[in-house]
Amino acid sequence: MTERLKNYIAGRWTSGDGAGAVLTDPISGEALVSVSSDGIDLDAAFRFARETGGAALRSQSYATRAAMLAEIAKLLQNNREAYYAIALANSGTTRSDSAVDIDGGIYTLSWYARNGAALGDAFALRDGADTALSKDASFRVRHVWTPTRGVALLINAFNFPAWGLWEKAAPALLSGVPVIVKPATATAWLAHRMVADVVDSGILPPGALSIVCGSASGLLDRVASFDVVSFTGSAETAALLRAHPAFVSRGARLNVEADSLNSAILCSDGAPGTEAFDLFVKEVAREMTVKSGQKCTAIRRAFVPQAWLQDVVQALSARLAKVSVGNPRNESVRMGALVSRAQLDHVKAGIAALSQEARLVFDGSTVPFVDADASVSACIAPHLFVVDHPDDARCMHDVEVFGPVATVAPYRVDRVATEGLQEAHAVELARRGQGSLVASVYSNDDARVSPVALALADTHGRVHCVTPAVRESQTGHGNVMPMSLHGGPGRAGGGVELGGLRALGFYHRRAAIQASSIALETMTNVADSHL
């Protein structure tokens, strides 16, 4: 019988009822641990977090809470090898792919620890300069941010059990808001182990950090007016959440990161043989294969000038042919498995849908696996498609295949474009994604990327521009950095995460305080901010 992972709520570890869900090794199918949240006292969990955890956190300054984050980061860093072992077993990822999740989460914590310390001994944040309300300026208004007196419920996705936890929890805890995390069931083990280590360390006050593993049933029913919910997952589930009374009637805040058909654009000066061409091909191939394509920011659509379509396809296919797929315990393997057989079925269904309007130019089904049984494992090799007429296409702009799958399509280069935007057609095609987390632009000319980036900005949360000048320093199309905005409009969810200290805004409430100039000047423990 597998070990049952307990839930940590109301300051104690509690086991759920029933058979629960079994977490498995996506390579061997071996049962690892089980989880269940059935029968646990969710009312007590939310009450304890709000009343005990929230009060304890708010009694500390930003600098003190930042110091707590620094201690958590140090603790997690010391336990990294245990986390790598869990990621290998439960997510089927190579060590380098596990690092994106584990080390990325630790780095994000460290960033908020360092930059949160700069807020000092304040307990509230000032929003801009005071403004006079009277002619003699004796009566003024000051806008301030104060921590919401609620709970931050974090409902996370399966692909980043570590980073997905800490990129949300770090700004919440720094803000003084207690966290209840609900990790995706399939890969909950890693998040559970990290939370257990933090709880055992005593770094945080009781009630500041809780975890519920298993079903999410009943969680939203406990969400009250001043709670906040951050969700990462499908647009279909997000639509159900938005209709819940917690948000419609009680006015709780909801932040959503959902589906995203991210794009990469090779500019019209990126001819074969140039640095921009090579950087583009390298990044598309990398984004297809890192974490087996299971990244919300992965490149799904690549747009190239019509004249170079075949050159791009040949170069990408050559790179993909070198990717060894299979058991990440074998040192020769560069790409591991999807997280489960169920996810494998979803990816295969997406491939079948794309096949109706696209031609397959790199067929991963012919690639042999290394030390992995295709009938048991959740392995799948990269699949690359071409859509020759993207204006007439539907699936490539609507269907996100959450795996090592991408589509290349040509665009028309406007040689008489004004304002230097010869890539207008590519921008138009990127916008067909109806709102995305990120688009990347590749050119040999630094001046060329600016108009393209600005044209993409209204429908993308982030625009990543790559030229030879940043060949070595650029952080990667799909890498989400804590100091940069993560989120996107439209079908990407309309949410906003990270963006440096701007992330604290979601966990604060803004108010206008109208008083005499003298009274406002006596308001202490308020730090300047740029939320």
Whole-number Å distance between alpha carbons of 471 and 492: 28
Name the active-site residue from 167, 213, 257, 357.
257
Whole-number Å distance between alpha carbons of 244 and 234: 16
Active-site residue flag, 428: no
Distance of CA 346 to the CA centre of its chain: 20
DSSP string across 447-510: HHHHHHHHHHGGGEEEEEEE-GGGTTT---TT---TTSEE--SGGG-S--EESGGGGGGGGEEE
Q: Where are the alpha helices (DSSP H) in 202-327?
A: 235-242, 245-248, 275-289, 309-320
Looking at residue 263, what DSSP letter applies? Answer: E
Buried b (16+ CB within 10 A) or exposed e, 217-245: eebbebbeebbbbbbbbebeebeebeebe
Whole-number Å distance between alpha carbons of 369 and 371: 6
Active-site residue flag, 472: no
Q: Do the Cβ atoms of 400 and 260 come closer than 8 Å?
A: yes
Q: Where are the alpha helices (DSSP H) in 243-308?
A: 245-248, 275-289
Is the C-alpha dihedral spanning 138, 140, 146, 148 positive or negative? positive
Whole-number Å distance between alpha carbons of 29 and 24: 6
Name the active-site residue from 267, 296, 379, 465.
296
Whole-number Å distance between alpha carbons of 360 and 367: 14
The burial class, CB within 10 Å (0-12 / 13-18 / 19+), for 200 is: exposed
Compute the 3-state secondary structure of the chain and give helix, strand, coil in percent, each to the nearest 5: 40, 20, 35
The burial class, CB within 10 Å (0-12 / 13-18 / 19+), for 334 is: middle
Reduced to 3 states (helix: H, G, I; strand: E, B; else coil), residue 236 is: helix
Residues annotated as catalytic are: 257, 296
